[in-house]
Structure 1
Amino acid sequence: MPKSLAEFVLKLTNNKIRLSSYDIIGTIAILDIPKELEKYKKEIANFLMQKNKNIQTVAQRQTATEGKYRIRKIKIIAGKKTTKTINKESGVRLLVDINKMYYSPRFSEERLRIAKQIKKNENVLVLFSGICPYPIVIEKHSNPKQIIAIELNKKAHEFALENIKLNKCKKIIAINADVKKELKNKKYLNWADRIIMPHPTKAEEFFNLALKAAKKNSIIHLYTFKKSNQNTRAILKRIKKSLKNKKIKLKLIFCKKVRPYSKDIEQLVLDIKVIKD
């Protein structure tokens, strides 16, 4: 038997086509299968299940991430007919339905990176929180005072509540709401020591609103996109130019590419210090 998926696909196609990457979420493997491999997808799926006994379902991505809930539609091609599973990362367990809510295991290291930065008794605000991977990893690996998590997708919110129970978390308040409406509540004014915005297509749009919740010298972890040849400083300059409160100063303290998104676009995270008078 071939040692890897890449080796198997090359053998299957007489060294003509490569396919090596796929995601595993719990017991589900998710593949992007190019058109030229469509006729081999059952064989590819069966190989994966034979090679990794933990994989019980193999699914094929049907769409890119789309819609207000950032969902990628998938189709099961082999194994158990389920899209629900429990994924483990950084010592926590996360219940997810990959057909109804957004979750990516590729950000597990990034979630842990942020969790390890959080100081004792910080108030943490997580926007677009999904099934609560950021809040749960944070509570398990640091000692915040409180974490508020806001998510629009009702189904993802229901799973978040289950995940909070599953991991015996005590400091997380999960709210099913539109961030734009929820943050208008005065209780958020200057509340957060740290704000996490893991929605690269929307984070910049909501940045001014998030700033109202930010304390003096707080940190915002903002995820966004940039062109591969674009300077990171240009992104910060764009954000600064959009500020409604010109008295606020922003200082970039860390930046890194999180992952390539397409041939010319990459996703990055900016850790920004908020300086208020």
Structure 2
Amino acid sequence: MANRLLRRIAEEVLGGEKARLVWSRIDIIGDIAVIKRPFTGGVDLEDLKRVAAELVRRLPYIKSVWLAYSPVEGPYKTREFIHLAGEPRSETVYVEHGCRFRVDIRRVFITPRLNYEHIRIARLVEPGEVVVNMFAGAGLFSIIAACKSRPRTVYSIDVNPDAYRFMVENVRLNRVEDVVVPILGDAARVVEERLVRVADRVLMPLPELALEYLPYAVKALRGRGTVHVYLHVHYPRGTDPLKTSERLVGEALKALGVRYKVVGSRRVRPVGPRTLQTVVDVVVESVKEEALG
């Protein structure tokens, strides 16, 4: 229903051809609409301002509209935004799977397009598990898992001070202080100093660093355990992005002397022309001692 309404508004403002480049790239986060810059040309800033003004006028639950101008970049996972219409406010409360999250779209990474992935991971977590989330952001994976499953502990790490601040607030907001442990710091260092051989499951939802930090995910496992590795994969025509993802993760684990089994992989979302975010779910069955350093 929401998608049909966004499409209709974009078509009425821009016409069919331009609207096609815009409407599917609108995300609603709390009472803020975010328009991600179209992959291809043909739509300029004035076009987007006209769409944004109409969204605020016709949809009472949208109070502010922003253009996500740059890709997500850097260790803090932030991007550049331009205010388009409505209140010049970037902080909001976003609700997903019955959990509430206070966020600032300019300071922390958040996308409702990970909605299914958040609940998929939560449903995989088994009672009593210890989970390490190496790139937790404002805490969505961690808190939804704590609310929907019964993990013993979720260590929730992020290097971005703003993300950590919101994560601490969101842990209190959802009353999971006895389960989720927010930690500010670089995940590699945190694992080395505090979390070697503690986890049954490790989450790596930062594609840019996943393969580089995979040795630390393995170190965090207390023995046999599961690692969820998120990647960005460019796939030329005729290639399979899931096979490519499984191969990349397999090569990295073999180089560490890890015996493993891929138990699943899936397309998460498009992130660029012929580029996908994927996830590979791997069970680590055994690790050579030297891999633990």
User: Is TM-score (shorter-chain normalized) higher than 0.5?
Assistant: yes
**1:14-53 correspondence runs (5 A):** 14-18=15-19, 19-21=22-24, 22-33=26-37, 36-53=43-60
**Which range moved further: 128-137 or 232-241?**
232-241
Task: Please list the CA deviations of residues 195-249 of structure 1 after superposition, one character each: whole Å capped at 9, or x if unmatched.
Answer: 0000011111100111011132211111012223245334333333334541x21
3-state SS of paired residue (2:50): helix
Equivalent residue for 1:241, pick from 248, 251, 267: 251
**How far 1:145 sits from its partner (Å)?**
0.7
Going from structure 1 to structure 2, the CA distance change for 1:150 and 1:42 (only over 3 Å counts) comes to same
- Give the aligned partner of residue 164 of structure 1: 171
Equivalent residue for 2:154, pick from 147, 160, 174: 147
Q: Which amino acid aligns with 2:179?
A: K
3-state SS of paired residue (2:125): coil
* Structure richer in helix, relative to its length: 2
- Give the aligned partner of residue 182 of structure 1: 190
Instruction: State how far apart, in whole Å, the 2-side matches of 1:150 and 1:113 are.
Output: 20
For the aligned residue pairs, the C-alpha RMSD in angstroms reads 1.8
**How far 1:137 sits from its partner (Å)?**
0.2
Contact 2:246 2:265 in 1 (8 A): no
Q: Which amino acid aligns with 1:9?
A: A
Going from structure 1 to structure 2, the CA distance change for 1:16 and 1:115 (only over 3 Å counts) comes to closer
Contact 2:233 2:244 in 1 (8 A): no
Going from structure 1 to structure 2, the CA distance change for 1:250 and 1:69 (only over 3 Å counts) comes to same
Instruction: State how far apart, in whole Å, the 1-side matches of 2:15 and 2:199 are.
Output: 57
Instruction: State how far apart, in whole Å, the 2-side matches of 1:142 and 1:213 are.
Output: 21
Identity across the alignment (%):
26
**How far 1:33 sits from its partner (Å)?**
4.9
Structure 1 position 116 matched with structure 2 position 126: no
Contact 2:53 2:84 in 1 (8 A): no
3-state SS of paired residue (1:4): helix
Contact 1:121 1:144 in 2 (8 A): yes
Structure 2 length as normaliser, TM-score?
Answer: 0.87
Equivalent residue for 2:208, pick from 201, 217, 220: 201
Q: Which amino acid aligns with 2:189?
A: K
Structure 1 length as normaliser, TM-score?
Answer: 0.92
Contact 2:234 2:275 in 1 (8 A): yes
Task: Please list the CA deviations of residues 116-162 of structure 1 after superposition, one character each: whole Å capped at 9, or x if unmatched.
Answer: 11111100100111111111101100111111011000111011000
- Give the aligned partner of residue 276 of structure 2: 266
- Give the aligned partner of residue 266 of structure 2: 256
Task: Please list the CA deviations of residues 150-180 of structure 1 after superposition, one character each: whole Å capped at 9, or x if unmatched.
Answer: 1000111011000011111121111101112
Instruction: State how far apart, in whole Å, the 2-side matches of 1:12 and 1:176 are.
Output: 44
Instruction: State how far apart, in whole Å, the 2-side matches of 1:33 and 1:128 are.
Output: 25
3-state SS of paired residue (2:114): helix
Task: Please list the CA deviations of residues 58-86 of structure 1 after superposition, one character each: whole Å capped at 9, or x if unmatched.
Answer: 11112111122111111222111111000
3-state SS of paired residue (2:23): coil
Q: Which amino acid aligns with 1:77?
A: L
3-state SS of paired residue (1:253): strand
Going from structure 1 to structure 2, the CA distance change for 1:161 and 1:47 (only over 3 Å counts) comes to same
Contact 2:77 2:108 in 1 (8 A): yes
- Give the aligned partner of residue 138 of structure 1: 145
Contact 1:33 1:41 in 2 (8 A): no
Instruction: State how far apart, in whole Å, the 1-side matches of 2:16 and 2:127 are.
Output: 54
